[in-house]
């Protein structure tokens, strides 16, 4: 599959694009079944709800052991980490060859999986999971440039009430200053300039099998899940081969998987 020139321009203009019905429902269900088992068994490395909410900028930039620090089995899981090596189904999705030409187009480079960053099954548990404030994923990632994007797969329907991602189109190209962010590098919502920026937000409902590609500098957020059913999504991050992880940072501590050109 290839993006049309209009779709490619749309990605570069908005910083994201939705590929409707990209993965068939049966494969989504198979992935969900394995994911649910790992979630129920709390198979490490996991991040608990509390850890997801409370971890500092320093932790997210420097610590490379993703094993949960919680010994409390009743803690709610927010995400399964390091999913590439967990199951062949997960690996197959991250190495999916139908999406590769699209990723090559967007990156304008050979595609490399970054196993240290979004390499996760994200959950939004009913009523427990917190909302995620406006942020750019790149804030904790250390690379030579910003040619990275995330691939978000909806394993079931996603909408405002269960915490679908919201985006600010074009924010990946904005010149934002450090003063516009708080100490954990979330966009400060009380700031007058930011209020104007946030007024342009969009929320796009997703169906099972839809995929969203979004730029690592794109501002995004998500609501709490106020429904009675968990939301489970798969997200991983790729970079262009010419984009280099800075030595001595978390970004350089995990294997990179170079995917063959298609």
Ligand X SMILES: O=C(O)CCC(=O)C(=O)O
Give whichever of 110 and 132 is closer to ligand X, judged by the CB atom. 132
Give whichever of 215 and 220 is closer to ligand X, judged by the CB atom. 220
Q: How far is the CB of 235 from ligand X (least distance, A)?
A: 7
**What is the contact mask toward ligand X in residues 199 to 238, using x (rule: CB under 6 A)?**
---------------------x-x----------------
Q: How far is the CB of 225 from ligand X (least distance, A)?
A: 9
Phi, psi (deg, nearest 5) at residue 145: -155, -175
CB burial of 178-207 (b: ≥16 within 10 Å; e: otherwise) equals eebbeeebbbeeeeeebeebbeeeeeeebe
**What is the contact mask toward ligand X in residues 132 to 161, using x (rule: CB under 6 A)?**
x----x------------------------
- Helix-, strand-, coil-residue percentages of the chain, each rounded to 5: 30, 25, 45
Q: How far is the CB of 97 from ligand X (least distance, A)?
A: 26
Computed over its alpha carbons, how large is the radius of gyration of the chain? 17
Give whichever of 3 and 47 is closer to ligand X, judged by the CB atom. 47
232 three-state secondary structure: strand
Nearest to 241 by CA among 221, 218, 258: 258
According to the binding rule CB under 6 A, does residue 163 interact with ligand X?
yes
**What is the contact mask toward ligand X in residues 41 to 80, using x (rule: CB under 6 A)?**
----------------------------------------
Give whichever of 229 and 261 is closer to ligand X, judged by the CB atom. 229
* H or E stretch at 16: strand 16-19
According to the binding rule CB under 6 A, does residue 116 interact with ligand X?
no
Answer whether 106's CB lies under 8 Å from 5's CB: no
Classify residue 61 by burial, with Cβ atoms within 10 Å: 0-12, 13-18, 19+.
middle
According to the binding rule CB under 6 A, does residue 117 interact with ligand X?
no
Site for ligand X in 88-107 (CB under 6 A): none
Cα–Cα distance measured from residue 206 to residue 155, given in angstroms and rounded to the nearest whole number: 9
Q: Which of 83, 102, 106, 122 binds ligand X (CB under 6 A)?
A: 122
Q: Which of 81, 117, 124, 172 binds ligand X (CB under 6 A)?
A: 124
Angle, CA of 62, 65 and 70, to the nearest 5°: 110
Residues forming contacts to ligand X in the complex (CB under 6 A) are 122, 124, 132, 137, 163, 220, 222
């Amino acid at each position: 599959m290839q993006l049309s020139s209009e779709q490619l321009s749309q990605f570069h203009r908005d910083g994201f694009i939705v590929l409707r019905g990209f993965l068939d429902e049966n494969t989504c269900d198979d992935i969900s079944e394995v994911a649910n088992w790992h979630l129920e068994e709390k198979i490490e490395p996991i991040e608990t709800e509390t850890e997801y909410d409370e971890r500092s900028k320093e932790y997210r930039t420097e610590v490379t052991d993703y094993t949960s620090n919680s010994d409390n089995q009743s803690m709610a899981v927010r995400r399964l980490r390091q999913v590439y090596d967990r199951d062949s189904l997960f690996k197959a999705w991250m190495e999916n060859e139908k999406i590769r030409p699209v990723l090559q187009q967007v990156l304008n480079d050979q595609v490399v999986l970054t196993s240290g960053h979004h390499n996760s099954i994200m959950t939004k548990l009913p009523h427990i999971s917190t909302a995620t404030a406006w942020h750019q994923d790149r804030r904790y990632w250390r690379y030579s440039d910003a040619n990275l994007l995330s691939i978000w797969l909806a394993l079931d329907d996603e909408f405002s009430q269960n915490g679908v991602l919201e985006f600010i189109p074009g924010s990946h190209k904005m010149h934002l200053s450090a003063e516009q962010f708080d100490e954990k590098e979330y966009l400060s919502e009380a700031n007058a300039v930011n209020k104007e920026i946030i007024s342009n937000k969009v929320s796009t409902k997703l169906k099972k099998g839809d995929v969203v590609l979004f730029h690592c500098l794109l501002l995004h957020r998500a609501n709490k899940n106020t429904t009675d059913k968990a939301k489970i999504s798969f997200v991983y991050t790729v970079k262009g081969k010419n984009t280099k992880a800075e030595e001595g940072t978390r970004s350089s501590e995990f294997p990179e998987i170079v995917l063959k050109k298609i």
